[in-house]
Amino acid sequence: MKDDAWGKKKGADIPPGRTFRRADPGTIAAVLFFAFLCALPALSFGHAFPDHSDPRVGATVNSAPAQVRVWFDSALEPAFSTIMVHNAGNIMVDKRDSRVDPSDPTLLVVSLPPLPAGTYRVIWNVVARDGHRTTGDFTFTIK
């Protein structure tokens, strides 16, 4: 065996018939980055976010709607998902019948009585089927 630059015999620490190679730091970094990217979708798909609503966010409508409906981008857990409507005085004005539509697990609905003109705030609090909670609100105006 030949000596290396430090006077050690090359291959002296390696058992006969086996070869070992150190992993390149760039390769290790690439593998860790790939593992992170694979885990990222699992982290981001855990929450249900609104897709669209009726009335639309910030809309001005001519007459009071009979319901407020919000569709989400994933299925909701009915027992833990609610929606409320408050008037400008922060008083709840909906019929307190918040529910996830049985035929569409992405749709959250609450009924409204006839409402006077004004601005109303919709407040939603939902739990996705995998257990992640999200909350939010938006307003709409009745002319």
CATH number of the domain residue 137 falls in: 2.60.40.1220
> Starting from the edge strand earliest in sequence, which strands make up the sheet with 107-111, in order?
50-54, 67-72, 107-111, 99-100
**HSE on the CB side for 101, CA within 13 Å?**
14
Q: What are 132's two structure tokens?
A: 């992640």
How far apart are alpha carbons 45 and 51 in whole angstroms?
A: 14
Q: Among 45, 93, 95, 92, which Cα is nearest to 72's?
A: 45
Structure tokens at 37: 């990217």
Q: What is the pLDDT of residue 47?
A: 85
For residue 6, the model assigns a pLDDT of: 57
DSSP class of 79: G
4 within a domain of the structure (yes/no): no
* Spatial contact of 65 and 101, defined as CB atoms under 8 Å apart: no
Residue 93 lies in a domain: yes
Residue 11 lies in a domain: no
**pLDDT reported for residue 49:** 95
Domain range spanning residue 55? 50-142
Q: What's the total number of domains in the chain? A: 1
Instruction: Kindly list the distances between the CA atom of residue 132 and the CA atoms of 45, 49, 76, 96, in Å, as whole numbers in the listed order.
Output: 9, 11, 10, 24
Residue 33 domain-assigned (yes or no): no
User: Which regions of the chain are under pLDDT 70?
Assistant: 1-23, 26-46
pLDDT confidence of residue 44: 47
Residue 115 resides in a domain? yes
Place of tokens 């798909």: 45
pLDDT (0 to 100) of residue 53:
98
- Cα(88)–Cα(124) distance, rounded to whole angstroms? 17
